[in-house]
Amino acid sequence: MIEVSHLKKEFRIPVQKKGRFAAVRNLFSGEYTVKRAVDDISFTVNKGEIVGFIGKNGAGKSTTIKMLSGILKPTSGSVTVDGIRPFEQRMENVGQIGVVFGQKTQLWWDVPLIESYRLLREIYKIDDTVYRENLDRYIPMLGLEEVIHKPVRQMSLGQRVKSDICAALLHDPKILFLDEPTIGVDVVSKKYLHDFISEINREKGTTVLLTTHDMGDIEKLCSRVVVIDSGRLMYDGGLESMVQKFGAVRSLMIEFETPVEDFRIEDAELVRSEGNRKWFSFHRDKATPMGLIRSIGDRFPIHDIAIIEPDIENIVRNLYESR
């Protein structure tokens, strides 16, 4: 579905002169530096996958999305989206993709939302039956009933993002690019978006490439992640595999029936003690929760337990620090 091979993108940045007459010298100077935003990355996305494309600010995520959507031309390397070269075949490409940039909108600011949708129907030449079926299905799924006749400028950020995602899917694209779709969005709107994207993926087989800093989005939607840093590919694989490799330290909370003194236990470290509760950290390759629970239970009566998996954000941080 998406094939990226040795993709590179460089930007030429003029060197700014300083001192007297700097403005004039800058006007005629031919000096520049080269910034490589994407540096020889290769990956594939199969039909029907939801892939998380993650990295720090400036890692090259949005630049990659813009090359996949045909906005930017690669400096070198190749990219195809369902057999189409995005920049060379822009008209064909836009017909098969939907794109949502969290900080920008494709909706018209001062007109009611429904008018934006009607205009998009004409732009994409959407069949009337398909348009009506999609609109009737997506509006209630996204909770847009109360804003469909409102100007976009009167919407909250969450309502606007949901409206943008609806707009991106009106023409039944095969592929949906989501670039930071939930940034600044409230918890309720995020839940709508997570459920909606999951259902569209299951129902229509829509392939989704998601860039986000919100690790909750990754946990809720993605089984596979691609991680880049400074334009280079760092990790490409299953989310669970990344957790196993870079989230090896887990936690176990034990609540005792009565207060107990702090104690040591083999293959685990006591990291916190509060009332009748104690928290232990342990490496998943050296100990198991059940083994620790049995060892502790042989010494003290246990009232309750909880196994705490590592936070996905910390896992990504560990991945970066492992370089």
**Domains, the chain, ordered by start:** 2-241 (3.40.50.300), 247-321 (3.30.70)
Query: What pLDDT, on the 0 to 100 scale, is given for residue 20?
Result: 64
Query: What pLDDT, on the 0 to 100 scale, is given for residue 103?
Result: 74
Distance CA 258, CA 275 (A): 9
pLDDT in tens, 86-135: 999 999 999 999 999 877 888 999 999 999 999 999 999 999 999 999 99
Query: What pLDDT, on the 0 to 100 scale, is given for residue 73?
Result: 94
Q: What is the 3-state secondary structure (H, E, C) of the chain?
A: CEEEEEEEEEEEEECCCCCCCHHHHHHHCCCEEEEEEEEEEEEEECCCCEEEEECCCCCCHHHHHHHHCCCCCCCEEEEEECCECCCCCHHHHHCCEEEEECCCCCCCCCCEHHHHHHHHHHHCCCCHHHHHHHHHHHHHHHCCCCCCCCEHHHCCHHHHHHHHHHHHHCCCCCEEEEECCCCCCCHHHHHHHHHHHHHHHHHHCCEEEEECCCHHHHHHHCCEEEEEECCEEEEEEEHHHHHHHHCCEEEEEEEECCCCCCCCECCEEEEEEECCEEEEEEECCCCCHHHHHHHHHCCCCEEEEEEECCCHHHHHHHHHHCC
Distance CA 52, CA 65 (A): 12
Query: What pLDDT, on the 0 to 100 scale, is given for residue 244?
Result: 79
Joined tokens for residue 194: 């997570």
pLDDT in tens, 293-304: 999 999 999 999
Distance CA 63, CA 37 (A): 7
Query: What pLDDT, on the 0 to 100 scale, is given for residue 317?
Result: 76
Asked if 64 and 251 touch (Cβ cutoff 8 Å), the reply is: no
Query: What pLDDT, on the 0 to 100 scale, is given for residue 263?
Result: 93
Ranges of the chain with pLDDT below 50: none
Query: What pLDDT, on the 0 to 100 scale, is given for residue 101?
Result: 85
